[in-house]
Amino acid sequence: MTMPEANAGDCIGRGLSQSAMQTLSDLREMNMLCDAVIRLDDGIVFPVHRAILSACSPYFRALFTTTLHQKAKTDVEIPGLGENELKSILEYAYLRKVDINFDNVSNLLSTADYLAVSGVVELCCKFLKTVLSPQNCIRILKYARDHFLKGLENEAFTYVMKNFVMIAQKSEEILGLSVEEITEIIGSEELNVKSEEVIWELVLRWINLDPEHRKHHIVVLMSQIRLGLMDTHFFLERVKEHDYVSTNEQCRPKIIDTLRFLYDLEMITQRTGEVSTPEIARPRIPHEILFVIGGWSGGSPTNYVETYDTRADRWVKVEEVDTSGPRAYHGTAVIGHDIYVIGGFDGVYYFNSCRCFNAETKTWREIAPMNARRCYVSVAVVDDKIYAMGGFDGHNRQDTVEKYDYKTNQWTMVAPMNAQRSDASATSLNGKIYITGGFNGHECMNTAEVYDPDLDTWSMIPAMRSRRSGVSCVAYHGCVYVIGGFNGISRMSSGEKFNPATNSWTPIPDMYNPRSNFAIEVIDDMIFAMGGFNGVTTIYHVECYDDTTNEWYEATDMNIYRSALSSSVIKDLPNVRDYIHQHRDRLMEEKRQKLLALDAQRANHHPRQVQERQPQ
């Protein structure tokens, strides 16, 4: 893979123009006005201008200006340098550009480091950061450590943490690490794994490469795995009974600790005193944070913000709410670490105003208002442009669409939809926007359409199987999933997915809870449905769908009941710890208290149920 010319900056040097430097480079190649030569081991000679090389490298500056010699050093032999590498260094010295590709980056980086040409070192590191992959990241990490390139080392290690699952399955290089190196990786709190089983499988791969010399390391490697977070059957059948474990007496304490924890988990409500969460069951740090903002709660709009910690399965209140006021029936979109809150309604006013929350600085700011007021708005992002579609302005359901460019802070009208839609839902997939369902002022809709930003055109796609207003849709594994909503008669728990490849809809399993006007997002490779209205009351229930099992699972409820809320996911926040559950050592105690409260609630309800049945 060849990297295009990498320019260190727009200006070559203070007071020197590009054309002047090009002239000096031409003079060097013609051996004119040069005042020194560099000789290589194989006898090749490069004429140079000492001033130019001294300006870009303290190595050359010391070489050419040292007072240890009676006369100026003008004929220099540098052992160990390659011809191509020195050519690249000289090109950079004169023109501040260098061609870097995967074939030459290693030698070029070593040469630049040796000659103290920091500009080329930086460009090589920048190139390596852009080509990190599951197949080469371990090699780049080790190279960075061997050459004390701290910035590159940090970037490579972060890449390993973030993409560990793929690396564990595909990388051959990781099997060549020492026990100390692999222990550092699998023991990190930052390791991005949904299930500890993945780590166990990697440990087995690593040992199986050289069982005779590696199997005794099983003890130290097991101590880095959160065994208490494994599926119980997996632990009992695949870990506890494995030959590497069962034949090693030193594994017994770890196995006993895990069995004790699993037993305590089953009998947690019968324990007296506070139950602490052992190290083997403390979740790692998530790499994605789900934000839920605003909505309708307790008969009025709210500006409440909370985040979901997927690893701890806990909701965390965020103190930094929007002081401009609450809003519901709005949309949200993420670009970088910014969450954009679009349109909405506060019980009195229909908004065209938009707000932006930066999750890194924890600050809110106003951005440009839309051209139209939009409550029940649908929002999607393509190529870092935010699209706001349809909605209700207090008088009419709309078919208009506008897009926001955060770089210019401007909204621009684009092609309108084929139908008026409010309370619809939109998502982006493969560079296009899909909008589904909604209400046109007369009926709940089952139609859907797709927008091509390149052509600025809307096209109808096959209609859904059900009418859905107050619906939620999200892109997931190459399909558009459309879930819940109101069909004009009742709130729905059903869902269906559209496959653009087959241009067809197929049903998916029902949710546990019927709901409309709820939030939806994909996080941890699952679809999460949050809150909403079930036809009777506003709810705070959360459930998630995994298409590998084709099932819904219940997750921890949000902190407050709300509908008309909106959610977004931010990845790779540098201050992610500010938004996660802080007391990971108290998770078991929190669970115990919650179960005890539920038991007490059932006990209090039971006598009344008996009394109610007696007269019958």
CA–CA distance, 601 with 497 (Å, rounded to integer): 39
Whether 376 and 329 have beta carbons less than 8 Å apart is answered as: yes
Q: Is the pLDDT of residue 368 over 90?
A: yes
pLDDT band at 598 (very low <50, low <70, confident <90, very high): confident
Least confident piece of the model among 267-271, 456-460, 590-594? 267-271
Q: Which among 56, 45, 67 is positioned nearest to 21, based on CA atoms?
A: 56
**Distance in angstroms (rounded) separating the CA atoms of residues 41 and 52:** 23
Q: Contact, 164 vs 174, CB < 8 A? A: no
Amino acid at 501: A
Which run of H or E residues covers position 263? helix 252-266
What is the reported pLDDT for 324? 95
- Contact 333/380 with Cβ under 8 angstroms? yes
* Residues forming a β-bridge with 474: 481
Q: What is residue 263's predicted lDDT score, i.e. its pLDDT?
A: 82
Distance CA 329, CA 566 (A): 8
pLDDT reading at 12 higher than 70? no
In this prediction, residue 362 carries a pLDDT of 97
Residue 67: which pLDDT band, with cuts at 50, 70 and 90? low
Nearest to 126 by CA among 7, 12, 287, 13: 7
pLDDT band at 8 (very low <50, low <70, confident <90, very high): very low
Q: What is the DSSP string of 559-579?
A: SS--BS-EEEEEES-TTGGGG
The C-alpha angle with vertex 8 and arms to 7 and 14, in degrees rounded to 5, equals 120
> Maximum CA pair distance of the chain?
117
What strand order describes the sheet that includes 479-483?
472-476, 479-483, 495-499, 504-508
pLDDT digits (tens, 9 = 90+) for 465-518: 999 999 999 999 999 999 999 999 999 999 999 999 999 999 999 999 999 999
Share of the chain above pLDDT 70, in %: 94
Residue 546, SS3?
strand
pLDDT-above-90 percentage for the chain: 81
Q: Which of 6, 610, 571 is nearest to 290 (CA)?
A: 571
Beta 75-77 vs 2-7: how paired, if at all? unpaired
pLDDT tens digit sequence for 412-437: 999 999 999 999 999 999 999 999 99
0.95 exceeded by pTM: no
Neighbours of 432 (CB within 10 A): 19
Answer positive or negative: Cα dihedral of 297, 298, 303, 306. Answer: negative
Q: What is the pLDDT of residues 551-578, one digit of tens each?
A: 999 999 999 999 999 999 999 999 999 9
Helix, strand or coil, per DSSP, at residue 537: coil
pLDDT of residue 416: 98
SS3 593: helix
524 backbone φψ class: left, alpha, beta (φ>0; ψ -120 to 50): left
For residue 448, give the H/E element and its range. Answer: strand 448-452
CB 565 within 8 A of CB 293: yes
C-alpha angle 586-587-590 in degrees, rounded to nearest 5: 85
3-class SS letters over 203-242: HHHHHHCCHHHHHHHHHHHHCCCCHHHCCHHHHHHHHCCC
**Residue 154 three-state SS:** helix
Alpha helical stretches, state H, 57-149: 58-65, 83-95, 105-114, 118-130, 137-146
pLDDT of res. 455: 97
Measured torsion, CA atoms of residues 477, 478, 484, 486, in degrees rounded to the nearest 10: 170
CA distance 375 to 564: 10
- Cα–Cα distances in angstroms (integers) from residue 580 to residues 357, 527, 591, 613, in the given order: 18, 20, 17, 46
The pLDDT value given to residue 180: 96
Q: Give the whole-angstrom CA distance, residue 141 versus residue 177.
A: 11
pLDDT reported for residue 70: 52
Instruction: Give the residue from 84, 110, 116 showing the smallest Cα distance to 98.
Output: 84
Residue 69's pLDDT band, with cuts at 50, 70 and 90, is low
Three-state DSSP class for residue 438: coil
Distance of CA 455 to the CA centre of its chain: 29
Query: CA separation (Å) from 24 to 53, 55, 84, 434?
Result: 12, 14, 20, 57
**Tokens 């059903």 correspond to what residue?**
494
Q: Give dist(CA 611, CA 61) in Å, integer.
A: 96
End-to-end CA distance of the chain: 81
- Check residues 3 and 595 and name the one with the higher pLDDT: 595
Flag the least confident range among 65-79, 326-340, 348-362: 65-79
Give the tokens for residue 503: 């241009």
Token pair 């207003």 in the structure block, residue = 469
C-alpha angle 397/398/402, rounded to 5°?
150
Q: Report CA dihedral (109, 112, 118, 119) to the nearest 10 degrees.
A: -80
How many Cα atoms are found within 13 Å in the side-chain-facing hemisphere of 146? 9
Single out the residue of 455, 411, 465, 409 nearest to residue 433, CA to CA.
455
Higher-pLDDT residue of 14 and 581 is: 581
Task: List Cα–Cα distances, 281 to 66, 260, 525, 585, in angstroms.
Answer: 62, 12, 22, 9
Tokens of 357: 């929350």
> Which amino acid is located at 125 in the chain?
C
Compute the mean pLDDT over every residue in the chain, rounded to the nearest whole number.
Answer: 91
Q: Say if residues 296 and 538 touch (Cβ distance below 8 Å).
A: yes
d(CA 161, CA 155): 10
Of 112, 294, 116, 115, the C-alpha closest to 128 is: 112
The answer to whether the CB of 568 falls within 8 A of the CB of 333 is yes
Residue 466 phi, psi (nearest 5): -130, 150
Q: Which domains does the chain have, with CATH numbers?
A: 2-131 (3.30.710.10), 177-281 (1.25.40.420), 288-579 (2.120.10.80)
Whether pLDDT at 588 is above 50 = yes
State residue 71's pLDDT score.
Answer: 57
Give the integer Cα–Cα distance in Å for 175 and 209. Answer: 7
d(CA 152, CA 141): 7
